[in-house]
Structure 1
Amino acid sequence: MSEISADYVIVGAGSAGCVLANRLSADPRNTVILLEAGGRDWNPWIHIPVGYFKTMHNPAVDWCYRTEPDPGLNGRALDWPRGKVLGGSSSLNGLLYVRGQPQDYDRWAQMGNPGWGWDDVLPLFKRSERQERGADEYHGDQGTLWVSNMRLQRPICDAWVAAAQEAGYPFNPDYNGATQEGVGYFQLTTRNGRRCSAAVAFLNPARKRPNLTIITHAQASRIMLEGRRAVGVAYRDRAGLDQVVKAGREVILSSGAIGSPQLLMLSGIGEAAHLQDHGIEVRQNLRAVGRNMQDHLQARLVFKCHDATLNDEVRSLSNQARIALKYALFRSGPMAMAASLATGFMRTGDHVETPDIQFHVQPWSADSPGEGVHRFSAFTMSVCQLRPESRGEIRLASSDPRKYPKIIPNYLSTETDCRTIVEGIRIARRIARCAPLTSKISEEFRPDRTLDLDDYEGTLDWARRYSTTIYHPTGTCKMGQGPDTVVDARLRVHGIDGLRVADCSIMPEIVSGNTNAPAIMIGEKASDMILADHAAG
């Protein structure tokens, strides 16, 4: 067993971990070690926007998690892709740049987390961002995370935006601007038609710093504790050998909403009875570890079309060759496409003050991105509930770090969640029956016309049978004070010195939108707090 040391040891090179590695190593007096269970981001499909078709469900770069059978989904188990590579899930995701609503962060602050309100975090979003539209009150253009407009347009998505306006929803050119509500087009983490992952944006500029060590194929097995202090991390290298890195100042977990609580529990930090069931010595009884899990559940409605969609464009080898040539020459066309083109943030009624559902509209259809498109002309209208009340959990299945934990989502377990997903599906179907979209649709495929718009129970049953994750697990190391939390407002694990968590697991409540941009903001916020706390002594 070898042993190396640094001031800071970061576990996980995902969206937040890459930011932390960059910011903490910017001062040459700080030494930083970044551990990543996966490998380098050398797979060329990672860097091509549409590459998520090839990387999701690929065990070389995806953890390939799977949930427990969920009663809320009629007993179905879901695949939960998470990145296992430099850049983490930002190397596999749909490239959609969404911050959420100001009210999300103000709510965090109101829950006992000073410094996390919208006015506090907006400067951090702007600091990261290099927005191609330029800087303004809401956007920055000096960061290293490139944020771009769509390089691809498709008539079916334009028709959806027009039909949504016909249905009464306003056009919004910038949902990351003054207000989120309305319909429009996604902003993407791309630069010149290539993915701008967290590894590209934050690790690449820092990679040559002599005070930053990046160790890949290093799966953490436990946090090393001396009394009540974290002093290092034990991990298994690619040869299967056990190794140790020591931390002079802090260990920072950035392993995500699945990995971070799992590693805490493997290290004896969690609910005492649960740890004892697995023969793990209890070092800190924190019953909230792994609980409070939240995710956005999407209902994917599919509509067959009269005109060709991307399903048809990619079907023949000759078309595939033309698409590849267009991308190679111009970095444009379908290969430069994000997971979705059009979006909408809407309220299901006057009982909510801000949007509580989000649409992702795609000029293609598939049962799963990793399984290829349907063999007919169609597009997808996906709708998700932005602020679910349902809470799931992560539980250990074994004390062996190589064994995946149990993922228990507990979807659609409250009346509000059921009512909201049903109303979201109804809104989607109403938009499909508005001009100019109605003239382009040849058939309501999933669900079909036999499901009446006013059939609440039938629509809810359809949602339980067909809805799936939209890949936003959060909340399992909840930030705040009290027995239902894991870290304080400075992301320090309760009762353990020298240990923080900085990733989407710290969210007390899930943000109202996609989670990659907030994960990067959390990395920015954590780095500021760590450096400030060290400077203060």
Structure 2
Amino acid sequence: MSQEVASFDYVVVGAGSAGCLLANRLSADPSNRVLLIEAGKPDNYHWIHIPVGYLYCIGNPRADWMYSTQPDKGLNGRSLLYPRGKTLGGCSSINGMIYMRGQARDYDNWAALTGEEAWGWDASLRDFMAHEDHHKLDGGADPATGDNSRFSDLHGHGGEWRVEKQRLRWEVLDSFARAATQIGIPASDDFNTGDNSGVGYFDVNQKSGWRWNTSKAFLRPVASRPNLTVWTEAQVERLTFDTGLDGMPRCTGVSLHKGGRLRQVQALRETILSAGAVNSPQILQLSGIGPADLLQSHGITPLRDAPVGENLQDHLQIRAVFKVKARTLNALANSFLGKARIGAEYLFRRSGPMSMAPSQLGAFTRSGPGRPHANLEYHVQPLSLEAFGEKLHAFPAITVSVCNLNPTSRGHVRIASADFRDAPLISPNYLATDEDRQVAAESLKQVRQIMAQPAMAGYQPEEYKPGIQYQSDQELARLAGDIATTIFHPAGTVKMGRADDSSAVLDPHLRVKGVGGLRVVDASIMPEITSGNTNSPTVMIAEKAARWILAGQ
């Protein structure tokens, strides 16, 4: 197999939520030659851009790595599909489009764990706002009050990352929101102020009814830059190294396969891994950076013994289903005329069910009075089905999914062999702690409490799943293992931390400890998962990292 060598200043591996922004920012200086490498194809598949198209992208090798987890004890031996974006835009091309920052305490905690004040909420808020284009500032003022001061301190306008309202509402979801307020959850018109407690409709990364992924936001506007090169269908085999002047290993670039040829790419300044919480640890381990015993078991000589792939965290959602006496999407989508109406509404108005995110209504609250902050997130949908990808139920129903925002269980990602083409072994280790099992039971009880409120009485809700016969905490925790699924938020597998933190792979500026010329910039760097959806925090991480990279910090 022939080898070709190319040379760039910066090599970014992974054109996903972080990589697209990095390529944009690093190539803004025309003297920087930047290569962005993506294993998947361009994002020209039509279902990527139609919001409901996530149904046709997840589980489709055209846009998904098609991973699955190892059988999980906490899920009573079940294995889950584990979607990861494999196309320009990465997971932002196949995800639920929900714009969510998390809570201020998440970032202040990162600052405390790393000793770097720049990770705190106030500094991170500026990085969120730097690329934001928020609908609340369209026209320069809040249309309800004519005043924008309330929002201008919290949101940006004119940036690349578009945030819009959802383009549909459902009466049954409005009623659920009222029921939530009846148990003390306040109404909210903005989940992104630093305290996301409340109930309301999610904001989404869409533009005029189309999905707005990071490829459209950050790559397309700068595609003509002569100093920016984008390679698709190029899979990295491993990182390459030599010895630096300080005697430490230094990353010199990557070895990759593209077009049936092995190519060597040199990075004169830095190589940046932005391949995500599954693929970044895989590439590091294949390159000799990881747990020494794991690497040696696969015949890989350890370059640096480090806990790469450990600390995996994810949000596990428990899907409760209630039959209701109401119009829901089940009936509409199960008839020919209903499907025709849905298609016509999207074709002519870019609204209706084809424009909707997988979850429309959200709520953040505490699982019990002893919790100091909101530790649950609800995703409420006017539809129901047995499992993702299956047909909607024939009866009208809604799904009330709830997840533990701050799981204490930790899993891992480990290579299965020394062959880069073999999928890594993903073990989330869900519901492994007493606390996580207790929160699972508490959350299901709270779902029942909301559904029993007067605002829902007219719908005569009937619990279909998990079933009212399950009442004790032990029964509910076990049932959570039977019906829960991932909400697709893996994080933490290449953790950042202080110099003396032996569990941290990266320093606070995301440089791999003990290795020169190499950083990781994606959701894998999170020491603890954010209290909400993880996509936009990953974009923020890239904004902050780009500034450090350009400054040589």
| Normalised-by-shorter TM-score class | over 0.9
Of the three residues 109, 131, 134, the one matched with 2:134 is 131
Shift of 1:421: 1.2
Task: Give the whole-Å Cα distance in 2 for the aligned partners of 1:368 and 1:140.
Answer: 38
Matched, 1:473 2:493: no
Contact 1:38/1:217 (8 A) holds in 2 = yes
**Structure 1 residues 270, 371: closer, same or farther in 2, change over 3 A?**
same
Shift of 1:533: 1.0
Matched, 1:463 2:480: yes
Of the three residues 76, 79, 82, the one matched with 2:81 is 79
Identify the residue that residue 275 of structure 1 maps to in structure 2. 295
Task: Give the whole-Å Cα distance in 2 for the aligned partners of 1:23 and 1:533.
Answer: 14
Task: Give the whole-Å Cα distance in 2 for the aligned partners of 1:392 and 1:29.
Answer: 42
Identify the residue that residue 193 of structure 1 maps to in structure 2. 209
Alpha-carbon deviations, 1:10-37, whole Å to 9, x = none?
0001100111011101111111000000
Contact 1:393/1:408 (8 A) holds in 2 = yes
Contact 1:52/1:370 (8 A) holds in 2 = no
Task: Give the whole-Å Cα distance in 2 for the aligned partners of 1:122 and 1:442.
Answer: 40
Of the three residues 395, 403, 408, the one matched with 2:414 is 395
Shift of 1:374: 2.2
Of the three residues 274, 278, 284, the one matched with 1:264 is 284
Contact 2:102/2:194 (8 A) holds in 1 = no
Alpha-carbon deviations, 1:67-104, whole Å to 9, x = none?
00011111111110110000000000011001000000
Match for 2:319: what amino acid? R
- Equivalent residues in 2 for 1:111-130 (5 A)? 111-114=113-116, 115-130=118-133
Matched, 1:214 2:230: yes
Of the three residues 297, 302, 305, the one matched with 1:285 is 305
Shift of 1:112: 2.1
Identify the residue that residue 253 of structure 2 maps to in structure 1. 232
Q: Secondary structure at the match of 2:44?
A: coil
Task: Give the whole-Å Cα distance in 1 for the aligned partners of 2:199 and 2:128.
Answer: 22
- Equivalent residues in 2 for 1:33-432 (5 A)? 33-114=35-116, 115-134=118-137, 135-177=151-193, 179-227=195-243, 228-237=249-258, 239-286=259-306, 288-432=307-451
Shift of 1:311: 1.2
Match for 2:495: what amino acid? K
TM-score (norm: length of structure 2): 0.94
Contact 1:113/1:479 (8 A) holds in 2 = no
Matched, 1:446 2:465: yes
Contact 1:45/1:51 (8 A) holds in 2 = yes
Contact 1:127/1:142 (8 A) holds in 2 = no
Task: Give the whole-Å Cα distance in 1 for the aligned partners of 2:393 and 2:219.
Answer: 37
Alpha-carbon deviations, 1:33-85, whole Å to 9, x = none?
00000000011111011111111101111011100001111111111011000
Identify the residue that residue 147 of structure 2 maps to in structure 1. none
Identify the residue that residue 143 of structure 2 maps to in structure 1. none
Alpha-carbon deviations, 1:145-177, whole Å to 9, x = none?
110011110111111101111122111111112
Contact 2:290/2:305 (8 A) holds in 1 = yes
Task: Give the whole-Å Cα distance in 2 for the aligned partners of 1:277 and 1:520.
Answer: 35
Shift of 1:178: 5.3
- Equivalent residues in 2 for 1:469-508 (5 A)? 469-481=486-498, 482-508=501-527
Shift of 1:410: 0.7
- Displaced runs of 4+ in structure 1, greater than 3 A? none
**Structure 1 residues 512, 442: closer, same or farther in 2, change over 3 A?**
closer
Match for 1:463: what amino acid? A
Alpha-carbon deviations, 1:179-210, whole Å to 9, x = none?
31111110100010001111111111111111
Q: Secondary structure at the match of 1:205?
A: helix
**Percent same amino acid at aligned positions?**
47
Shift of 1:451: 2.1
Identify the residue that residue 10 of structure 1 maps to in structure 2. 12
Query: Which ranges in structure 2 are unaligned for 5 or more consecutive residues?
Result: 138-150, 244-248
TM-score (norm: length of structure 1): 0.97
Task: Give the whole-Å Cα distance in 2 for the aligned partners of 1:359 and 1:418.
Answer: 17
Contact 2:286/2:418 (8 A) holds in 1 = yes
Task: Give the whole-Å Cα distance in 1 for the aligned partners of 2:250 and 2:504.
Answer: 19
Task: Give the whole-Å Cα distance in 2 for the aligned partners of 1:158 and 1:191.
Answer: 24
Task: Give the whole-Å Cα distance in 2 for the aligned partners of 1:76 and 1:322.
Answer: 38
Task: Give the whole-Å Cα distance in 2 for the aligned partners of 1:76 and 1:399.
Answer: 26
